[in-house]
Chain A
């Protein structure tokens, strides 16, 4: 697919029942370096779009078989085809129809016969937008489980939040700054990459989503955007697996004569405000609220208590006794009048070096 290497050139489908229009549009687009294919009516267009890959569709409105509205309707309701940008091509006296198409999801419009400069600008802008969207999809696929990614991609990127019940998790590497100072930058980045690979594996394996990575710390959410009623259990299972993976990693480290790392994990469950934050072109799924703050505080508190996994009362209740946890001294949080109950989740095979801070 040589054309995908050049941001300007794409594979375009021109849909028009009028041969003169097809020839003119096709010529103009080919002169601009695009690969152009044609369909003579809406039905032909849909058949081709379902079986071939196109970067952009130029769609006439008034056509036999299926008209432009019907094609647009089918495209926007199809998960596979909804991301292909559509530019309506119209006569200059049917702009009211164009407005309707834009409302239905068409990206832009061109009046026939288009001025070459305008044609180039509009096609270029649409292809660029598609490229950004494709990039965003790829990013989502990288940072979420396939299940979550499909959910997000299917429901689109509506900015705006809602209340959901979820478990928030914070994790970081104990004493990472001193580790980083004691080794080469290359070793540090390699260490971080290995660490993140292991943590993602454990979190995604339990249906969680990592939504923040800062330095050696990460935040993950369980129960959103895909609802799992057993999110506290999933979060704690992931935490246990994370610690176990670090244990295995440390065995490898010590074989190479390198020191072990230790992690601290805090988990809290309850109502969070979840949604996409950012802009239409760049958004991340995130969660905020007291529950999230509590998880961050519990993670910090692992340093004090020397337990690698600390959870709040809601998470503990959500475990329903399936995973044992030992209650600790209540913890007084800044800005809170009452102390919160804190539970430590013991590791299945307690190993002294994994207990927490050095």
Chain B
């Protein structure tokens, strides 16, 4: 794998200060919530609900940064800012880019979680 979508050092530090089981729990929580947040963004985008959209983007930004998914976090932050500025017209394309990036993050995290 040429470039990992996750910053390994973040996860390694996390594991060193906690333990493997906790990091595994964290990863599962992130994946579950992340999928929900993307779904929530799609739904709120369709209904023009900028408040919910912003909150979901904010949440994804926060948890992905915690797990070292820095690129995903930056993309989510861009979406949060769009919603904050009330500029949801520009959001669909970027949201789909986030959705497209998610599986690679998921794979990397699961690989890390299973110690491979």
> Chain A interface (Cβ within 8 Å of chain B)?
17-21, 23-24, 27, 62-64, 91, 93, 112-113, 116
Contacts and interface: CB of A to CB of B under 8 A. Distances in A.
Contacts of B61: 91
A24 B26 contact: yes
Given A18-B59, A27-B18, 9 more contacts: A17-B55, A18-B33, A18-B62, A20-B30, A20-B62, A20-B63, A21-B63, A23-B22, A91-B61
Contact of A112 (B25, B33, B62, B77): B62
Interface in B54-103: 54-55, 58-59, 61-63, 65-67, 77
A285 to B, nearest CB: 46
Given A91-B58, A93-B77, A24 B66 contact: yes
A196 B25 CA distance: 61
B33 A19 contact: yes
Contacts of B46: none
A23 B55 contact: no
Interface in B40-62: 52, 54-55, 58-59, 61-62
A17 B18 contact: no
A21 B66 contact: yes
A20 B17 contact: no
Contacts of A91: 58, 61-62, 65
B12 to A, nearest CB: 15
A61 to B, nearest CB: 9
Contacts, number: 47
B32 interface: yes
A20 B58 contact: no
- Interface SS of chain A: helix, strand, loop or mixed? loop
Contact of A27 (B22, B33, B62): B22
- Interface SS of chain B: helix, strand, loop or mixed? helix
A93 B81 CA distance: 11
Interface of B: 17-18, 22, 25-26, 29-30, 32-33, 52, 54-55, 58-59, 61-63, 65-67, 77
Contacts of A63: 55
Contacts of A93: 77
A27 B18 CA distance: 8
A159 to B, nearest CB: 39
B108 to A, nearest CB: 16
B29 to A, nearest CB: 4
Contacts of B63: 18-21
Contact of A20 (B26, B54, B55): B26
B66 A112 contact: yes
Most chain B CB within 10 A, of A18, A24, A93, is at A18
B29 A20 contact: yes
Given A63-B55, A116-B17, A23 B25 contact: yes
A116 B14 CA distance: 11
B29 A19 contact: yes
A112 B66 CA distance: 8
A321 B27 CA distance: 81
A64 B55 contact: yes
A113 B52 CA distance: 23
A23 B58 contact: no
21 contacts: A17-B55, A17-B59, A18-B33, A19-B32, A20-B30, A20-B62, A20-B66, A21-B62, A21-B63, A21-B66, A23-B26, A23-B29, A24-B26, A24-B66, A27-B18, A62-B58, A63-B55, A64-B55, A91-B58, A91-B62, A112-B62
Contacts of A112: 62, 66
A21 B33 CA distance: 11
Contacts of B33: 18-20
A91 B61 CA distance: 9
* Ranked 4 nearest A-B pairs via Cβ: A20-B63, A19-B29, A18-B59, A20-B30
